[in-house]
Amino acid sequence: MSTGRELSIIIPSYNEQDNIQRTFQTIDEILTQNHIPYEIIFVDDGSKDLTFTRIQELSLQSGQVKGISFSRNFGKEAAIFAGLESAGGACCLIMDCDLQHPPQLIPEMYHLWQEGYEVVEGIKASRGKENLLHTFSANTFYSLISRATGIDMSRASDFKLLDRKAMDALLIMPERAPFFRALSSWVGFKTTILPFEVQERDIGVSKWSVWSLTKYAVQNITSFSGAPMQLVSLLGFIMFFASVILGIQSLYRYFTGTALEGFTTVILLQLIIGSVLMISLGIIGHYISRIYDEIKARPRYIISKRCG
Ligand code: UDP
Ligand code: MG
């Protein structure tokens, strides 16, 4: 029941059976102490373990817990949007199930909201422990996506508090493959930031492999930016410039009678043009497949069960 100041906490959970109870208890303790009315929505993203059973048990114990279960794994963004759709609060908070987003900060975020901020963004004070390759790829990804969105995303996270207005603005976005972290900044509204230290994951493992991270990066860059397509034109211009110079040189040789050398040049040109063309076609093809996905207009997720 919305009292006009209720906080809906949305927690996407994928194979987190051992975290559900603990996460709930931690949050419950902090919010009860601070007299913040809340509901928690656990979104089970097609887990293969007992995550949803744990959520169901919890919803029987506590009237504040709701659960949604997907028919299969649809990804974290889909889970966040399912949570937004079911949230009844005047504001909502999105956080991970593994307590890497410190729940101790929720009261502070909530108070910022009460002061009138409509979006409170948790910003990573540091990126936590990551290896060199991960840091490098993350930096590349964030500098590209920051340029595409015009928002500094290098320290952005999904740990955010949104006012009902921002939630509604997000929910009317028809995108099939939404990138929550960027969209929630893109919608605007009165925003403030709150730095936090990324905690260590105590239980379970991170769900990201190198491959899934790469897919995630490409998907989100292309959903926010047409820049890679402009890269195709840029490559075209560079090749054109090179061809003018080589063309002049070849004609000069022809007229001075020193032609018929340059076999290496021909081979190199073939290879360069071939690879540039293929890369370009790949980029364009990727956008076409994104258009195809959007136009099919399939639902973002399918719910199989609910509780609470
Ligand atoms: N998650 C999800 N669906 C997925 C992968 C992850 O709902 O397909 C959830 C996961 O349960 C966790 C959050 O998203 O609550 C962050 O995932 P994880 O901790 O694996 O990522 P990391 O913290 O390593 O970036
Ligand atoms: Mg995590």
Summarised one tens digit per residue, pLDDT across range 18-49 is 999 999 999 999 999 999 999 999 999 999 99
Instruction: Tell me if 216 is assigned to some domain.
Output: no
Ligand 1 touching residue 206 (CB < 6 A): yes
Residues of the domain holding 38: 7-132+151-204
Residues paired with residue 12 on neighbouring β-strands, in sequence order: 43
Instruction: Round to whole Å and give the CA distance between 111 and 278.
Output: 53
- Which tens digits make up the pLDDT trace of 217-265? 888 888 777 778 888 888 888 888 888 888 888 888 888 887 776 777 7
Question: What pLDDT shows up at residue 130?
Answer: 67
Please give the distance, rounded to the nearest whole angstrom, from the Cα atom of residue 106 to the centre of ligand 2. 17
Ligand 1 touching residue 207 (CB < 6 A): yes
Question: What pLDDT shows up at residue 284?
Answer: 87
- Which tens digits make up the pLDDT trace of 164-211? 999 999 999 888 888 888 888 888 899 998 898 888 877 777 777 778
* Same structural domain, 24 and 81: yes
* Same structural domain, 112 and 195: yes
User: Ligand nearest 16 Cα, by number?
Assistant: 1
List the alpha helices (DSSP H) in the chain: 20-33, 51-61, 76-86, 106-114, 132-149, 164-171, 180-186, 210-224, 227-256, 263-296
Residues paired with residue 193 on neighbouring β-strands, in sequence order: 121
Reading the block at residue 125, the tokens are 């004070």
Confidence of residue 2 (pLDDT cuts 50, 70, 90): very low
Please give the distance, rounded to the nearest whole angstrom, from the Cα atom of residue 293 to the centre of ligand 2. 28
Please provide the average confidence, as pLDDT, over all residues in the chain: 86
Protein residue closest via CA to atom 13 of ligand 1? 96
Question: What pLDDT shows up at residue 212?
Answer: 79
Ligand 1 touching residue 158 (CB < 6 A): no
Lowest mean pLDDT among 83-92, 94-103, 175-184: 175-184
Question: Is the CB of residue 56 less than 8 Å from the CB of residue 67?
Answer: yes
Question: What pLDDT shows up at residue 20?
Answer: 92
Mutate which of 9, 14, 22 to test ligand 1's pocket (most atoms within 8 Å of Cβ)? 14
For the chain, the domain total comes to 2
Instruction: Tell me if 138 is assigned to some domain.
Output: no
- Per DSSP, 105 falls in state G
Instruction: Tell me if 41 is assigned to some domain.
Output: yes
* Same structural domain, 175 and 278: no
- In the numeric block, the tokens 């949803």 are attached to 52
- Which tens digits make up the pLDDT trace of 118-149? 999 998 887 666 677 777 877 887 887 777 76
* Same structural domain, 60 and 172: yes
Question: What pLDDT shows up at residue 275?
Answer: 80
Is residue 80 predicted with pLDDT exceeding 60? Answer: yes
* Same structural domain, 200 and 275: no
User: Ligand nearest 11 Cα, by number?
Assistant: 1
* Same structural domain, 199 and 233: no
Ligand 1 touching residue 95 (CB < 6 A): no
Is residue 1 predicted with pLDDT exceeding 50? Answer: no
Please give the distance, rounded to the nearest whole angstrom, from the Cα atom of residue 183 to the centre of ligand 1. 18
Instruction: Tell me if 305 is assigned to some domain.
Output: no
Average pLDDT of 101-127?
Answer: 90
Question: What pLDDT shows up at residue 3?
Answer: 56
Among residues 215, 224, 238, 212, the alpha carbon closest in space to that of 144 is found at 224
Q: What is the pTM of this model?
A: 0.78
Instruction: Tell me if 140 is assigned to some domain.
Output: no
Instruction: Tell me if 98 is assigned to some domain.
Output: yes
* Same structural domain, 65 and 183: yes
Q: Is 103 helix (H, G, I), strand (E, B) or coil?
A: helix
Ligand 1 touching residue 16 (CB < 6 A): yes
* Same structural domain, 61 and 121: yes
Tell which atom from ligand 1 comes closest to the C-alpha of 16.
Answer: 11
Instruction: Tell me if 87 is assigned to some domain.
Output: yes
